[in-house]
């Protein structure tokens, strides 16, 4: 077994035994060493965003004191949901190792596929109704940012 995936699995297992949330773990590796570990803590912290990958990314970024993790690799025990896949992209990572698939996750009741289907336009029923309002006011803040000389992009 891949040693980094073994560490991610150990995280997932510890999380399940402690009742912290779903059976998912992740580690982030830089220069051949694990710099952050995370497991799902949705239940522990009452935080719907506390998926293993998000937890690990936040820890790694805090450790490196930068939001750019392009020199890091993530190992996750399950194919990421759209939230985590988005986070991995925002963290600018280039490589990801996955264990189980989103279909495997759906079989034990974690329906990431539903959210993918919303994005893909395939969802039979949409959970979230979307309304539009006040675009002009929002664009004013975009302009304020865009004209700022010291703006930092990420």
Tokens of 80: 């990421």
Tokens of 111: 């329906």
Choice from 7, 34, 35, 61 touching its own copies (CB under 8 A) = 61
Choice from 19, 33, 125, 149 touching its own copies (CB under 8 A) = 19
Q: Taking CB under 8 A as the rule, which mask of x and - marks residues 103-142 in contact with its own copies?
A: -xx-xxx----xxx-xxx------xxxxxxxxx-xxxxxx
Instruction: Count the neighbouring beta carbons within 10 Å of the beta carbon of residue 106.
Output: 13
Choice from 33, 69, 102, 124 touching its own copies (CB under 8 A) = 69
- Minimum Å distance from CB 26 to its own copies? 11
Nearest CB to its own copies, comparing residues 21 and 33? 21
Q: What are phi and psi of 46, to 5 degrees?
A: 50, 45
Tokens of 133: 């309002």
Length of the chain: 154
26 within 8 A of 53, measured Cβ to Cβ: yes
Which residue among 11, 41, 53, 79 is the active-site one?
A: 53
Query: Is 53 a residue of the active site?
Result: yes
- Minimum Å distance from CB 38 to its own copies? 12
Between CA 55 and CA 64, with CA 58 as vertex, the angle to 5 degrees is 140
Choice from 33, 65, 124, 125 touching its own copies (CB under 8 A) = 65
Catalytic residues: 53
């Amino acid at each position: 077994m891949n040693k980094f995936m073994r560490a991610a699995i150990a995280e997932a297992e510890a999380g399940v035994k402690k009742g912290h949330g779903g059976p998912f773990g992740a580690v982030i590796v830089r220069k051949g060493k694990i710099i952050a570990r995370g497991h799902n803590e949705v239940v522990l912290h009452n935080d719907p965003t506390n998926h293993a990958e998000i937890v690990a990314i936040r820890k790694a970024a805090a450790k490196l004191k930068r939001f750019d993790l392009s020199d890091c690799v993530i190992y996750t025990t399950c194919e990421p949901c759209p939230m985590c896949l988005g986070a991995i992209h925002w963290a600018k990572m280039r490589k990801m190792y996955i264990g189980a698939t989103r279909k495997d996750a759906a079989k034990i009741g974690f329906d990431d596929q539903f959210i993918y289907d919303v994005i893909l336009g395939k969802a039979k029923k949409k959970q979230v109704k979307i309304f539009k309002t006040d675009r002009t006011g929002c664009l004013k803040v975009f302009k304020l940012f865009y004209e700022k000389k010291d703006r930092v992009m990420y």
